[in-house]
């Protein structure tokens, strides 16, 4: 399975999972079988609230799923409408997240878990996390 995981910096499998999809500087596309990684700069990082274009952000790369700490309703809806499943990761690194996905340990996001705005901080360690009260996580 090819997963798109938002990160602050490309450090391969040791990259910290960024807490929010749309504002992540970089995405890593990870093959969960081989653990091969491909970095993609987020070309849609600076967008107005509700105007995230997730498939534009990852370019022409085809993915089976997106794994995030948090995601806005617009991005979640657009990804799901395009057949891309969105999963929530409580893990700190891309390696831990990919391993958890291989073991079917990641919950799929639904509309009740989407974030409501861009004014919140999302930080797992240096790069992102949820739980500030604005997102219901």
CATH of the domain at 55: 3.30.420.130
121 within a domain of the structure (yes/no): no
Is residue 77, in this structure, part of any structural domain at all? yes
Whole-angstrom distance, CA of residue 52 vs CA of residue 50: 6
Q: Would you say residue 45 lies in a domain?
A: yes
Answer whether 0.85 is exceeded by the pTM.
no
Gap between the Cα atoms of 1 and 60, Å rounded: 17
pLDDT digits (tens, 9 = 90+) for 65-113: 999 888 888 888 888 888 899 999 899 999 999 999 999 999 998 766 5
Q: Is residue 90 part of a domain?
A: yes
Is residue 46 a part of any domain in this protein?
A: yes
Please give the average per-residue pLDDT across 53-71, as a whole number. 80
Quote the pLDDT of residue 136.
34
27 in a domain, yes or no? yes
Which residue segment(s) compose the domain that 78 sits in? 2-113
The closest alpha carbon to 58, from 15, 19, 28, 85, belongs to 28
Q: What residues pair up with 66 in beta bridges, in sequence order?
A: 4, 86
| 123 within some domain | no
Best CA proximity match to 66, nearest among 37, 92, 101, 34: 101
Of 22, 30, 43, nearest to 96 (Cα)?
Answer: 30
Domain for residue 137, yes or no? no
For the chain, what is the domain count?
1
Alpha carbons 132 and 32: distance in angstroms, whole number: 30
């Amino acid at each position: 399975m090819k997963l798109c995981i938002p990160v602050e910096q490309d450090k391969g499998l040791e990259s910290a999972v960024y807490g929010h999809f749309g504002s992540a500087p970089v995405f890593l596309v990870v093959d969960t079988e081989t653990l091969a990684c491909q970095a993609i700069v987020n070309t849609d990082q600076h967008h107005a609230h509700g105007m995230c274009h997730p498939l534009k952000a990852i370019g022409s790369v085809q993915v089976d799923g997106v794994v995030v700490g948090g995601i806005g309703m617009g991005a979640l809806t657009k990804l799901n409408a395009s057949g891309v499943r969105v999963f929530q990761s409580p893990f700190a690194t891309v390696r831990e997240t990919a391993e958890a996905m291989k073991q079917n340990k990641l919950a799929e996001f639904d509309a009740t878990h989407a974030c409501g705005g861009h004014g919140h901080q999302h930080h797992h360690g240096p790069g992102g996390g949820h739980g500030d009260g604005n997102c219901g996580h």
